[in-house]
Structure formats: structure tokens, C-alpha cells
Amino acid sequence: MSIRTTSISTPTAYVVGPGKLSVVNGRLSFATGEGTPLRLDPETLETVLCYGDVGASDEAIKVLFQHDVHVAWLSANGYRCRGRLVGFGDNGTTLRMLQHHALSAPAVCLNLARRAVSGKIDSQLQGARHHQRHGVRQAAGTIQRLQDRLRQCHGCTDLDVLRGVEGAATAAWFELLGKVLVAPWRFDQRTRRPPTDPVNALLSLGYTLLLNRIIARCQAAGLEVNLGALHEYRPGRPSLACDLIEPHRVGVVDRWVVELCNQMRVKPADFMTQDGGVRLQPDRFGAFIGWWEERWAAQKFDQLVEQTVEEFAKGIRDAAK
């Protein structure tokens, strides 16, 4: 009895372990031992992203090298890039050179930074309009302030001024966030390192989880994760990932935290004070991560991260033309 297979031709393939890449009849094959084996056309393939435990036979590695296919191994949850397999024709080197070149040009750097800030303000506007539709009367004033900041962003010609616009927009958004939370929850201002209340603790944790996903995807793409546009280079800071997270903070984290709190899926008793900051109790951390992963999969946020990184890479390639 023959085994059914699925064949695809795509520039980017995602495989989820446990499983193994091998070669069958001259074509790459990925099999998990369960389900239908996947056949990949090496002629069209550029990148393979392996999540979890994915092995590769000697023959598969030879085919990948022959066709200059870049392979990256990520943890099963996508939080960490474990390593990359690249040949001498590594496109990642070219991409990093383009990134350094693009971000050394003030006009390109400003344009990329402005794109991050305008995307963030757009998401804040979407959030404010959502709350306005649900009867939050203070949202109208927030919408006006955010629209003013968006116009300023589009006309910005200075990075420091742009950062000030981003800060003002975020202050307006967080002011509204405090008004949409219901008792017993309270949010007066954004505090971090350490967060000083439960809502800030949830925001910090959510941002960290999202940032780690973006860091891993940037590393898998071969980008220089510490070199960004809006966020200046600082040793140890993933400035590029900090740039790319901005348009997604509201949709992925902020609105979800409000939902968790207002629906009382988390309670004040779920938090503890430690070293001057507030954090989830250890026995509640697992539940939070479970909710996060469930929503991440349901909303297909992996595709959002993939698109964000690809758009940045396209932006720096276009800047080099």
C-alpha cells in the first residue's frame, strides 16, 4: 500500500517536529511518523523554519546546500532561535550588510522609524475606537489626541521629535487604558523594571513573550537583531525587535490584558510582591502561558510576526536599490 504524500512549491516552508528532513526520489521530504509526509521542491525553496525537534539526514543537508536553502531551528514555541544552517552563499550576510547600510543613512532610518511609530498609533486608534463602540465616552478625546499625533508623525523630519510623538501617543493610550478597566483593577501609569501593580505586571510579561517571538524570527531570517531605527543601538538591547514590536503591542498584548482583567480570568490574589515589584504567583504563571499560547494560535499571530519581519527585510532591500 503506497503512502500518500503532499507536495508543495514555496519559498518558505514551516515544519513542526518531532520529525526529520530527508530526501525521497530527489526531493526533500519531511515526515513525523504520523500523518501525510510533506514533499518540498528544492528548486523553489529559499527558507525552512523548523519548530521543535527536527532532524536532517546527510542527503537532506547536501540538497539544502546545493540549492542554497537557509534553515533555521527554533524552539517549539518559537521563542528562541537555536541555530541556523547556511552555505557559503548565505543570503543572511547580504541582508545584514544591507541593514547596516540602510540604517546608517539618516533618511532611511527616519523612514523606517516613522513606519514603526505610525503603525503603533494606528493600532492605538483601532483600540480607542473599539472602546468607543463599547460605550467608553472618554475614548472620543483619546481618538482626537491620537489623530493629532499621527499627523505629527507623518510630518516628522527628526528622530528625536518622532520619539517624542510616540511617547505622547502612548501616554494618551495608557490614560484610556486606565479608564476601561473595571474594579478592582487599577492602572494609573506604565511602570516597568519592575512593574509596580498587577496590570503592569501582565503588560510586561506579554510584551516580553511577544518580543522573544520577534527576536527569534529576526535571528532566523539572518537579521542583526541589535540594530534598529527607532531604538538606538545599545549593547544588549534587541533594538530591531523593539522597533518591530511597536505596531503590535496594542492588538497582541494590551487589549488582551484588559480582557483578562475585566473578565476576572486573573484576580488580584494571583499576584505577589517581590524585590520591589509585582509579578504573577508561580502557580498561576502556567495558566497565563496556556491562555497566551491558545490565543496566539487562534489569532495566527505567527503569520503576523512573519509578515512584520519580511516587510522590514523588503524595506531595507528597497532602500538599497
Per-residue pLDDT reduced to its tens digit, 222-279 = 899 999 999 999 988 899 999 999 999 999 999 999 999 999 999 999 998 988 889 8
Quick check: 222 and 93 in contact, CB under 8 A? Answer: yes
Q: Phi, psi at residue 281, to the nearest 5°?
A: -60, 140
| pLDDT band at residue 13 under the 50/70/90 scheme | confident
Quick check: 150 and 117 in contact, CB under 8 A? Answer: no
Q: What is the CA radius of gyration of the chain?
A: 22
Q: Phi, psi at residue 267, to the nearest 5°?
A: -130, 155
How large is the average pLDDT for residues 176-186?
A: 93
Element (H, E) at 58: helix 58-66
pLDDT at 91: 56
Query: What's the CA gap between 241 and 223, in Å, rounded?
Result: 10
Instruction: Give residue limits of the domains in the chain.
Output: 6-89, 96-116+181-319
- The proportion of the chain whose per-residue pLDDT surpasses 70, expressed as a percent, equals 94
Residue of 17, 5, 163, 99 lying closest to 313 (CA atoms): 99
pLDDT at 78: 62
Cell of 187: 492602572
Cell of 184: 478592582
Q: pLDDT tens, 79-115? A: 576 777 876 655 567 888 999 999 999 999 999 999 9
| pLDDT band at residue 15 under the 50/70/90 scheme | confident
Quick check: 49 and 305 in contact, CB under 8 A? Answer: no
| pLDDT band at residue 2 under the 50/70/90 scheme | very low
- Domain 96-116+181-319 fold is Four Helix Bundle (Hemerythrin (Met), subunit A) (1.20.120)
Mean pLDDT, the chain, integer: 88
- Domain 6-89 fold is Ribosomal Protein L15; Chain: K; domain 2 (3.100.10)
pLDDT at 74: 75
Distance of CA 253 to the CA centre of its chain: 11
- The proportion of the chain whose per-residue pLDDT surpasses 90, expressed as a percent, equals 53
Of the two residues 71 and 30, the one the predictor is more confident about is 30
- β-pair type (19-24, 27-31): antiparallel
Query: Is the peptide bond preceding residue 42 cis, with omega within 30 degrees of 0?
Result: no
